[in-house]
Structure 1
Amino acid sequence: MLSQAARHVPRKVHTPLNSRSGQTFRAFYATIQSLRRSPPPTPELDDIDPADNDFIMSILRANPSLRDTQAYRAYFNLTPPPAPRKHEQLKDALRDPVPTTDARPPDVDTQTQSPVIASILNPIQRRTALVKVQGPFTERQLESIARGMVYLEKLGLLSVIVVENESITRGRDGERSAIVEETMRVVTALEKQGARARPVLGAVVRLGPKPGDEEDPEPQDHAIPEAHTFPSDLVHIRSALRAGEIPVVPPLALDSFCRSVRIDSNDVVAALVRGMAEAAVSDGYGQQRKDAEPAHHSDDIDLTPLRLMIINKEGGVPSYARSGLPHLLVNLTSEYTHIRETFDKQWQSSHPTSLSNLALARTCLAYMPPTSSAVMVSHRSPSSLIANLITNKPALSSSLPHAMLQTNRVLNQHTPTLLRRGLPVRVIRSAKDIDRTKMKTLLEQSFNRKLDEAPFWERLDKCLDFVVVAGDYAGAAIVTNESDPANESSVFTPVSYLDKFAVLPSHQGDGTVDFLWVALHDESYGLGSTFSANPNGGKQGVGEGRDLVWRSRANNPVNKWYFERSTGHLRMGDWVLFWCDAEVRLKIEEGRRANAGLSYLEEWEHGRMSVWGDVVMKIPSSWKKVS
C-alpha cells in the first residue's frame, strides 16, 4: 500500500489514449521499442519566429499541476480578487440593461480576466534570480534569450544577469572594452523585447574570499566563492530592481588596489548569490530581524535568489546513462562526485563548461533556500524557463522508464538539466539498522494513519529485502520478499514487493520523490543495467534485476503517477496491482529474438499475475483499524 501523500506528480505526458489501460500499454510499448531507431527530431518551437501569443502558449505548455500552481502563488504572494457577488452582478446589469448594437470586437484590455490569469500576469511580490548568459551569441540568439527574460519578468521574476563571452581572450588588449560592449549588446537585446534594462558597469564584487571565511571551523561540502560582496556594493543592483529594471553586470571585480579587473563569471555569480541572500536576511526577509520587529516589505524587494539560470550553447550536463543526452534532474548531494567521475572525455569538446557550471550550481544552491533550484539550459529553449519557474520541475521526470525517455522525441541535446541541493540517499538491508522512531514518524505523517507497530516490525524482521532512505528519513521505499503461504515448494521464487513508498509532506515538491524512485529502480527492476550504477549506497548496478510488484487502492489519486512508471497493472476489486518488469531480462530476450522483437506474452510471464495476486492480496494491513 503506497502513500497518498507522495503526490509530487510530474507534468502530464500527453497521449492519445485517455484510459488507464492505454497508459499501461504506452509504458509497455516504450519498453519493447527501446532498441528501435529513435524518430527524427522535430524543429524546436523556439527556433520558429514567435507569434503574438507565444508568451501565453509558453505558460500553457508548462502544464502545471494544482500543487505546482499553489507553490508558485505562494512564492509570489498571488491573491486573486474575489468573485463579484450575485447582487453586485445584478446591479451592474441594471445599470446598463440595454445591450450595445456595436458589432466591433471588444478591446482585449477591457475584457474581464480570469482571477487566476490576472494574478499570474500581475504578481504582487516580485522575486529575484541570478542568470549567467554564457556567450558568444549571435543577435538572433540574444533575441531569443532576451525574450525568455521578458517572459520571466511578466511572471514576477526579476533577473540579475551576469554576462560572459568566452571568445574574448583573457589579458588581451581592449579586453575591458570588449566585455563592456558585450554587456551593452545584452542590454540592447532586452530593450528591443520591451524590457527595461540597466547596465551596471562598475564592479559589484571584490576579489578573494569574504573576510572571516578562513576562521570558519565547519567544513563545507561546496567550494567557497573566490569573490565576495557587501550590502553596500549592491546599491546599484538594488536600485535597478526597485525601479523594475533588469541589471546587467559584466564579470568585473575590484582587486586589492581597487582596480576593476576581469574575473571568471562563475566567481561573480557565486559572490552575488551569497551576497544577495545575506542582504535579504539583514533586510528581514526569510526570518525576523534580531530586534523581533517585522520587516516592512512594501517599498523594498526580496533579494533572496529564487533561481539560478545558466544559459549557454551546450545545454544541460551530459549523462552516461542517456548516451550523452542531458541529465534531467540532479541530486547534487549524492550525485555530484559520481557525475564528475563518469564524465566522458569526448564531452570535453562538446560540453567544455559543464563541470564548472555543475560546481557553480552546487556552490550557489548552498546559499539559496532549500526550495530553490538551478537550471542549465540551451539558448534554444527560453520557454523552458517559464516551465521551470511555474513548476520547479525538470522538463521530463527523471523517474519515468528509461525506455520511454529514450524514445521520446522531446528529449534531445537541448533538454534542460534541473539541479537541486537534494538529499543523501542510502540503502539499508537489515531491519535492525532502521531507525524505527523516525520511520514510524515518516509513515504516519505521509499516510496520515496510525502504524500498527508490533506486527509491522515483526514482518519486516522476517522478510525485509532492502529500504531506500532519503536524507534523515525524509522519504523511504521499503521492499520485502513475499512468499506464498500456500506454496512451500523450494523452487518458489519470493515476490519482490514494494511495501511502502512514503515522503514527508514538507519534502513533497522538492525532488525527493523522483530521487527516491530512481534509487528504487536501481536496486530492483533496473538492477544490472549500466545506468543503475548510481551512488546510493546499494549494489551500484551489480546484480540481477527482479520484477517489482506493488498494490494501491483503486481510488488513490497517486495512481496516475504509478501508471506512468509501471510496465502494467491489473484491477483486483478495490485494489490495483502494479508491476515493473526486470529491464535487463527484457533486453536479453529482445536481443535473442533479434528483429523478431518481443512477443505479447513471454514464457516466464504465463501465470505470474495470478501468483502475484495471490501473494500480494494476502499481505496484512500495516495500519491500526479506525474505531
Structure 2
Amino acid sequence: MHSYPVSYRQLLRLAINAQRTQTSKASYATIQSLRKAPPVELDDIPSDNDFILSILRANASSRDAKPYFASFSPRPRVPATVPQPSDDSIPTSEVRTEPSLVTEQPKVNSLVESIIDPVIRRTALVKMQGPFTQVQLDSIARGMVYLEKLGLVSVIIVENDDIHRGEQDSRNVIVEDIMRLVSCLEKHGARARPVLGAVVRLGPRPGDPEIPQDFISPEAHTFPSDLVPIRSALQSGEIPVIPPFALDSFCRSVRIDANDVIGALARGMVEAGSQNSSSSVNRIADASGEVDLTPLRLMIINREGGVPSYARNGFPHLLINLDSESKHIRETFHESWRHTHKTALSNLALAKTCLSYMPPTSSAVMVSHRSQSSLIGNLITNRPAVSSSLPHALLQGNRKLTPHTPTLIRRGLPIRVVRSVEDIDRNKMNALLEQSFQRTLEETDFYDRLNHTLDFVIIAGDYAGAAIVTNEPSSDLSQPISYLDKFAVLPSHQGDGTVDFLWVALHDESYGLGHPFSANPNGGKEGQGEGRDLVWRSRANNPVNKWYFERSSGHVRMGDWVLFWCDAEKRLKQEQARRGRAGLSYVEDWEGGRLASWIDVVQKIPSSWRK
C-alpha cells in the first residue's frame, strides 16, 4: 500500500465520496429523457478509479492545491459562544453541566471535511468547438463530469466550425450537436439541460461607454432576466448546454459567433454573481450548496489545441500573460499556423475579453480534446501543465510537452525593466521586499549598494513582483558576476502566475540572452546581446529551494546557504556543439575556478536586512 501525501489522501476521499452526491439528487426531466432514450448501462458510467487516477495525474502538492481549497471550501463560520458563569470566583472544575444527549462524533480534519463536502460550487464557461466524433465527445463529457464532482459546474456553449452562419439547416445541425452532448453527459452520470432559446441579445448593451481600441467587445449583451434558464438549470443540479443564438431587435433568434455569446455571458454572469454575493439571501444559499454564478474558469475545448509558440517550434505556449504578451504573439504568429490553428488568435482575443470581466484569480485554458483530463490538474492548481519558467532545454526534451499540451491564459501584469536606481519607487519596492521576506529592510545601506552595483530591475505590475540583478566585481574573473540580489513577489500575487512571468523575463534578460525565444517584449534588451551566467544564494532551509533546484543549472552548499547558478544558454549550446557526441564532462575546462570565485564574492555580499 503506497503512502500518498496528505493532499492526495484528501483528494482520494473526495473522489471516492463524489459518486454518492449524485444519488441523493432529486429526479428530473429533460428533453433528452422525454425522448425515451434507452436506459444507461452501468458500464458506461466512469468508475471511481478513473476519477482518482485523473486527480493523481495532476501531481498537486498541498501548496499547489491551496487555490482550489480557497475557492471550494466552505466559508469560515463564527464559533458559537458558550455562556460562562457570572461569578468569577467559581473554579472551572466546579462548574457542573448536564450530560449531553448527542453522541459525540469523531473529530474530522476541517480541510478534509471541506473537500469531501464542497459547499461552494463554482461555474466555468466552456466553449465546445467541434465538430467532434462520438468517441471524442464521450471523452470530453467524461471530463466535464469529473469537474462537476470537484465542484466546478460547466455552462457549455456549443460551436460547429464546419457549419457556417447562413448555411441551410445550420440551426438544426447545432441543435443536433447539443442533443448529442446532452446525451453523452447523461450517459456518463451527469444531469444536463439543453437551453435552446437565446440567452443573449444582439448588439452592444445600451448606454455602454466607448470601448478602448485594444479591447474587443462582444457583439452581444445580456440582462439578468436572460440568465433565468441558466440559473434554473444550475439550481436543479443540471449542466446547461447552450447554442450560439441571440435575439435580434425584432426578437428573432439568430445564430451568431459563439465568442460573442461567451463574452456576453462572462460579463452578465459576473454581474449577477456580484449582486447575489452582496445579498443576505445568497449567504444563506451558499450554505445550502448554491452555485456561484461568477465564472472561475474559461475553458476552450477544440481540435487544434493551444496557441502555437515561435519559441517552442510550434508547440503550444504554456502560460500567456495577456497584458504584456498578446500583441507580441499576434506579431510572431507564423503564416502556416493560420491553416493549422485557424481560431487560435480569435480564441486568444476571447480569453482577453472574458478575463477582463472575470475576477483576477480566474484563468482561461485552451486545450485539445485529446488532453481533456488536464483540465482537472488546472482546476486543482490553477497552473499550466508544465511550468513556463523551467529551463528551455528541459521543456524541449520533456515528454509532457506535446502539440496537445494546454495553454493557460492569465490576465497577467505589465512587465518592465529599469536600469537606474532613480527609476525605482522606493516606497513601493520597500513594501514589496518586506512583505515578501517578512523582514525589515536596511534601506540606506541597500540603496547605497545598488547605486554602485545595479545592472537592472524587472518590475511586474505596480510592484507586485520584482527581480533585482547586480554586477558584483570579481578579481579572479574577466567580468563582473551577474548576481540575482532579490527575487520577490507579494503574497497576494503568489499563485496567480506572477512568479513564472517574472522568472521568464529574468531568463530573457540574463542567461537566456542571444536566443530567438528570448525576444519577448519586456522593455529590456528583447533578446539582443550575449547571455551571462546568473548566480544567486538562498538559505539552506528556504522552502523555495525546491523551485530553484528545478530552474538552475547547478548548486553547491555553502554552510547555511546554497549557491545556485544558471549557465548562459547560448555559450552552453556552443560548447555542446563543439564537443559533439562526446557530451559534457562533470566540470568543463571553461568552468575551472569559477565556482570558487563565485563563492568568494557571494559570501562577502552584506545582508540587506536589519538584525
Whether TM-score is above 0.5 comes out as: yes
Indicate yes or no: 2:251 matched with 1:265: no
Pick from 358, 361, 379 the counterpart of residue 348 of structure 2: 358
Indicate yes or no: 2:547 matched with 1:558: no
Indicate yes or no: 2:235 matched with 1:242: yes
Indicate yes or no: 2:125 matched with 1:137: no
Indicate yes or no: 2:505 matched with 1:519: yes
Pick from 285, 304, 308 the counterpart of residue 297 of structure 1: 285
Pick from 299, 322, 336 the counterpart of residue 346 of structure 1: 336
Q: Unpaired segments of 5 or more residues in structure 1? A: 1-10, 13-48, 82-94, 96-111
Aligned to 1:53: 49
Relative to structure 1, is the Cα distance of residues 373 and 448 closer, same or farther in structure 2, using a 3 angstrom cutoff? same
Q: Is the 8 A contact 2:46 2:188 kept in 1?
A: no
Query: Matches of residues 132-211 of structure 1 in structure 2 within 5 Å?
Result: 132-211=127-206
- Separation in 1, partners of 2:204, 2:71: 31
- Separation in 1, partners of 2:67, 2:167: 47
Q: Is the 8 A contact 1:362 1:421 kept in 2?
A: yes
SS in 1 for 2:364: strand
Pick from 252, 256, 262 the counterpart of residue 249 of structure 2: 256
Pick from 373, 380, 384 the counterpart of residue 383 of structure 1: 373
- Separation in 1, partners of 2:262, 2:175: 17
- Separation in 1, partners of 2:366, 2:478: 49
Name the aligned partner's letter for residue 229 of structure 1.
Answer: T
Q: Unpaired segments of 5 or more residues in structure 2? A: 1-6, 9-44, 78-102
Name the aligned partner's letter for residue 397 of structure 1.
Answer: S
- Separation in 2, partners of 1:53, 1:175: 40
Aligned to 2:65: 69
Aligned-residue sequence identity (percent) comes to: 71
Q: Is the 8 A contact 2:270 2:294 kept in 1?
A: yes
Relative to structure 1, is the Cα distance of residues 523 and 126 closer, same or farther in structure 2, using a 3 angstrom cutoff? same
Pick from 576, 583, 595 the counterpart of residue 590 of structure 1: 576
Post-superposition CA distance 1:537-582 (Å, at most 9, x none):
0000000000000000111111000000000000011110000000
Q: Is the 8 A contact 1:199 1:247 kept in 2?
A: yes
Name the aligned partner's letter for residue 469 of structure 1.
Answer: I
Pick from 279, 303, 320 the counterpart of residue 330 of structure 1: 320
Q: Alignment length, in residue pairs?
A: 541
SS in 1 for 2:119: coil
Query: Matches of residues 417-456 of structure 1 in structure 2 within 5 Å?
Result: 417-456=407-446
Q: Is the 8 A contact 2:67 2:382 kept in 1?
A: no
Query: Matches of residues 566-577 of structure 1 in structure 2 within 5 Å?
Result: 566-577=552-563
Relative to structure 1, is the Cα distance of residues 62 and 117 closer, same or farther in structure 2, using a 3 angstrom cutoff? farther
Pick from 396, 400, 403 the counterpart of residue 406 of structure 1: 396
Indicate yes or no: 2:198 matched with 1:212: no
SS in 2 for 1:616: helix
Deviation at 1:594, TM superposition (A): 2.8
- Separation in 2, partners of 1:80, 1:55: 28
Q: Which of structures 1 and 2 has the larger relative contact order (alpha carbons within 8 angstroms, sep 6+)?
A: 1
The alignment's TM-score, normalised by the length of structure 2, stands at 0.85
Computed over aligned residues only, the root mean square deviation of the Cα atoms, in angstroms, reads 2.3
Aligned to 1:122: 117
Q: Is the 8 A contact 2:158 2:244 kept in 1?
A: yes
- Separation in 1, partners of 2:393, 2:255: 46
Post-superposition CA distance 1:137-170 (Å, at most 9, x none):
0000000000000001001111100001111132
Post-superposition CA distance 1:81-110 (Å, at most 9, x none):
9xxxxxxxxxxxxx9xxxxxxxxxxxxxxx
Deviation at 1:589, TM superposition (A): 1.6
Post-superposition CA distance 1:193-224 (Å, at most 9, x none):
110000000000111111112x34x7364211
- Separation in 1, partners of 2:535, 2:59: 30
- Separation in 1, partners of 2:116, 2:302: 27
Aligned to 1:508: 494
Post-superposition CA distance 1:347-371 (Å, at most 9, x none):
1111111000000000000000000
Aligned to 2:462: 472
Deviation at 1:65, TM superposition (A): 2.3
Post-superposition CA distance 1:410-462 (Å, at most 9, x none):
11011000000000000011111111111001000100100001110000000
SS in 2 for 1:297: helix
Name the aligned partner's letter for residue 588 of structure 2.
Answer: E
Indicate yes or no: 2:444 matched with 1:462: no
Indicate yes or no: 2:383 matched with 1:393: yes
Q: Is the 8 A contact 2:298 2:351 kept in 1?
A: yes
Post-superposition CA distance 1:501-529 (Å, at most 9, x none):
00001100000000000000000000110
